[in-house]
Structure 1
Amino acid sequence: MDTSKHFDLEGKTAVVTGGADGIGKACCEMRAAYGANVVVSDYDMEAAEKTSKSINNNGGTSIAIDCNVLKDEALVNLIDKTVDKFGSIEILVNNVGGGGAGKESPYDIEVEQFKKVFEMNVFSMWRLCQLVAPHMKKAGYGSIINMSSMASINKSPAISVYASSKAAINHMTRNLAFDYGPDDIRINAIGPGATKTHALSTVLTPELEKAMLKHTPIKRLGESEDIAGAFLYFAAPISSWTSGQVILINGGGEQTLDM
């Protein structure tokens, strides 16, 4: 068996939204390490440029493109600029997302907040899938990976907006697999458990971490590279017959922010 091509991304171009930091940054770095041209897309252009420069300094090929996923013209510009630069798109990582996890009491939030979370987490992903699909079909290779969350299956207070948006991503992914499959475009989703990113560090205490690990067989929180590895699997040829799947990367258990 020739294993040399299983994870080879040489000559392929990957677009990563929210790629400047955290899990998105790890995804960018890992794809570049396996040979892909990487587009670091983020609304924080300074941070995106920094990540892109680091990839290039380490022998990879990368550019940064400013993108606010709440604006359709920015999504179109992202794809157009990528194709202009690299000629094709084979991989899309829909990583960007947001929400007020633990701060979404229906007694306190406004309808506009609910709408914005869905526009960011669901609508922008669907639109980018629509925009990249023709380019993937033309390239003869396509892998779309959407960022879900353990919140998509967990039940907790004050998180109904974020959690329902992530559940929508799961079902959207499974259904789009039927639309894109005939064109050899795979689409999958990944739901991380508690991962040591900057966002988590703003609320994490030793006591909270201990409580979160109570029901986690692998007794540590996730690292960005743990999640990026799952993204790599879906992006690479080794998963060429895998589509419509949602995989949870969570140390074998559940971690929630409530004690």
Structure 2
Amino acid sequence: MILDRFRLTDQVAVVTGAGRGLGAATAVALAEAGADVVISSRTESQLHEVAERVAAAGRRAHVVAADLSDPAATAALAEAATSTFGRLDIVVNNVGGTYPRPLLETTTEFLEEAFRFNVSTAHALTAAATPALLEHGGAVVNISSIMGRVQGRGFIAYGTAKAALSQYTRMAAVDLAPRVRVNAISVGSVTTSALELVVGNEEIRVKMEQATPLRRIGEPEDIAAAVVYLVSPAGGYVTGKVLEVDGGLQAPNLDLGLPDL
């Protein structure tokens, strides 16, 4: 049956930024598809809540509370997976993000920090995980953003970093083929904590929905489902691609209202 191609029975995954939002939904989805998961973020209490959901799906979770803005901390998750579960098949580089900031308030240090948090961390874990991924043939998914391919004021650091992550995905896919597949997801507006202040305002939320071709804000499960596709045999002939899961957006659906200089 075609649904069998989406199974991940007895595989092992690492998901960063897994305490809430996209990471939490992804960890649970992978567990429901049959994988054990190493989940990591800064807040341990959130991770234990996600671990309970993984257990309810009949799989095991290993919790690693860490500051994932440090590339060394993300790299260590590969060893955590192999030492705990004996193998590693899937890496989801979800940790990332950067606050909006006008260009003239974006220091070089702020730009470099955005690059480190969104790109360097992903590279550190991917490189550390590669020996284990090569053993059975594995898959990596990087969580990028629509802001890596469209233009919007206030997002110069975030958009530049996510664009770099998308290109990193294409380059890594060539380097690691044919044993390891590497893809990314270009995420649109999704109801996570990062958008709480925005979508909590009905007027702004309605404007965002109307500016989105599918007329809604995405749910974390929309992204989690795409991850399952990309890392499972169902996506076995896909590598080096950036899958756009954004409701059809071709431009930002949130205007920060920054004036002309």
User: Which of the five TM-score ranges fits, normalised by the shorter chain?
Assistant: over 0.9
Q: How many Å apart are 1:4 and its aligned residue? A: 4.9
Q: How many Å apart are 1:14 and its aligned residue? A: 0.6
Structure 2 Cα separation of the partners of residues 172 and 33 of structure 1 = 29
Runs of 4+ deviating beyond 4 Å = none
Structure 2 Cα separation of the partners of residues 4 and 14 of structure 1 = 20
Gap runs ≥5 in structure 2: none
Select the residue among 169, 173, 176 that pairs with 1:177: 173
Is residue 2:95 matched to residue 1:107?
A: no
Q: How many Å apart are 1:31 and its aligned residue? A: 0.4
SS at 1:186 equivalent:
strand
TM-score calculated relative to the size of structure 2: 0.92
SS at 1:53 equivalent:
helix
Paired position in structure 1 for 2:185: 190
Select the residue among 214, 228, 232 that pairs with 1:232: 228
Q: Deviations over 1:39-79 (max 9, x none)?
A: 11111122112211232134222111123223243233321
Q: How many Å apart are 1:255 and its aligned residue? A: 4.2
Is residue 2:142 matched to residue 1:143?
A: no
The AA in structure 1 aligned to 2:137 is: Y
Paired position in structure 1 for 2:30: 31
The AA in structure 2 aligned to 1:151 is: M
Q: How many Å apart are 1:86 and its aligned residue? A: 0.4
Q: How many Å apart are 1:191 and its aligned residue? A: 0.9
Aligned length: 254
Paired position in structure 1 for 2:253: 256
Is residue 2:196 matched to residue 1:201?
A: yes
Is residue 2:117 matched to residue 1:120?
A: yes
Worse-superposed segment, 235-244 or 54-63: 54-63
Structure 2 Cα separation of the partners of residues 16 and 155 of structure 1 = 29
The AA in structure 2 aligned to 1:195 is: V
**Cα root mean square deviation, aligned:** 1.5
Q: Deviations over 1:95-151 (max 9, x none)?
A: 0001013xx11222332221111111001111111111110111x221100010010
Gap runs ≥5 in structure 1: none
Identity over the aligned pairs, expressed in percent? Answer: 30
The AA in structure 1 aligned to 2:184 is: A
Structure 2 Cα separation of the partners of residues 46 and 148 of structure 1 = 26
Structure 2 Cα separation of the partners of residues 144 and 214 of structure 1 = 33
Q: Deviations over 1:27-48 (max 9, x none)?
A: 0010000100011111112211
Paired position in structure 1 for 2:153: 157
SS at 2:130 equivalent:
helix
Paired position in structure 2 for 1:52: 51
The AA in structure 1 aligned to 2:75 is: V
Q: Deviations over 1:208-242 (max 9, x none)?
A: 12222233221111001011111110011111110
Select the residue among 160, 164, 167 that pairs with 1:168: 164
SS at 1:244 equivalent:
coil
Paired position in structure 1 for 2:85: 86
Worse-superposed segment, 232-241 or 110-119: 110-119
TM-score calculated relative to the size of structure 1: 0.93
> 1:213, 1:255 within 8 Å by CA — same for their partners in 2?
no
Structure 2 Cα separation of the partners of residues 100 and 34 of structure 1 = 33
Structure 2 Cα separation of the partners of residues 146 and 71 of structure 1 = 17
Select the residue among 193, 209, 232 that pairs with 1:213: 209
